Amino acid sequence: MNSLASVSKKAIAPQLVNYPIVETFHSLQGEGTWTGTNAFFIRLAGCDVHCPWCDQKESWTSKTYPQQSTKMLAEASQKANPFMVVITGGEPLMYDLSPLTKALEKLRLRVHLETSGAHPFSGEFDWVTFSPKPFKLPHKSIYSQVNELKVVIANEEDLNWAEEQAKKVPPETIKYLQPEWNHPESKDLIFDYILNHSQWRMSLQTHKFLGVR
């Protein structure tokens, strides 16, 4: 085999890389544009954004979770036979996601990302949901990648943060305001805001209403 062939084969073959995994599960997407869609979720462990109202605080540390390889994760995703695979966290961009997305792509799986964008962007995705948080500012590499902006709203100040972020994403981005679950009054705040700001839509955490993951 000549050296050029060997290099190009190496570039195409997915690397065997391990990631700390909180859980994988098969459910329906609960939020945003793809609400109600059959999805296999891969939840990576580790997050340094530390939102005070986070509903995944157990995912902040990566130390207590088992490592799973790209091969294991790709095989589990394929076995579930979902419409799409959603890589979430934690904050998945704490890791280089390229080996994982390459392994999923090799199996012709559709791959989505959910991220706060707080770390440099990596990987190849069919859809990127960007949920920026003021507690750790997004890295500039995220903005050109976004398909959907989803801002969690707990109070009026968060609406200013949402507008600030909306100016930085591509113009065709679908923009959502999502009530923070523990601040039910934010639903009314968002309802009234959207009546006066028609570029926004409301996203609800339908999986929580359904009582599923």
20 Cβ contact partners less than 8 Å away, ≥ 6 residues apart: 44, 45, 46, 62, 63, 65, 66, 67
Look-up: residue for tokens 């280089």? Answer: 96
Which of 102, 133 has the CB closer to ligand SF4? Answer: 133
Nearer Cβ to ligand SF4 (14/46) = 46
Place of tokens 């995703």: 77
Phi, psi angle pair for 22, to nearest 5°: -70, -50
Write down the least CB distance from residue 134 to ligand SF4, Å.
Answer: 10
Closest CB 50 distance from ligand SF4, rounded Å: 5
CB 180, min distance to ligand SF4, A: 10
Distance CA 45, CA 63 (A): 8
Cα 201 to Cα 185: distance, rounded to the nearest angstrom: 17
Please provide the size of the chain in residues. Answer: 213
Which residue's CB is nearer to ligand SF4, number 59 or number 70? 59
Residues near ligand SF4 (CB under 6 A) = 47, 49-51, 54, 56, 59, 89-91, 116, 133
Minimum Å distance from CB 6 to ligand SF4? 40
* Closer Cβ to ligand SF4, 103 or 128, answer by number: 128
Buried b (16+ CB within 10 A) or exposed e, 20-52: bbbebeebbbbbbbbeebebbbbbbbbbebebe
Location of structure tokens 């392994």:
103
**Closest CB to ligand SF4 among 49 and 104?**
49
Q: Which of the 8 DSSP states describes residue 119?
A: S
Give the nearer residue to ligand SF4 in terms of CB position, either 91 or 105: 91
What is the smallest separation between the CB atom of 191 and ligand SF4, expressed in angstroms?
A: 23
Minimum CB separation from ligand SF4 for residue 13, in Å? 31
Tokens of 164: 């600030």
Closest chain position to ligand SF4 (CB): 54
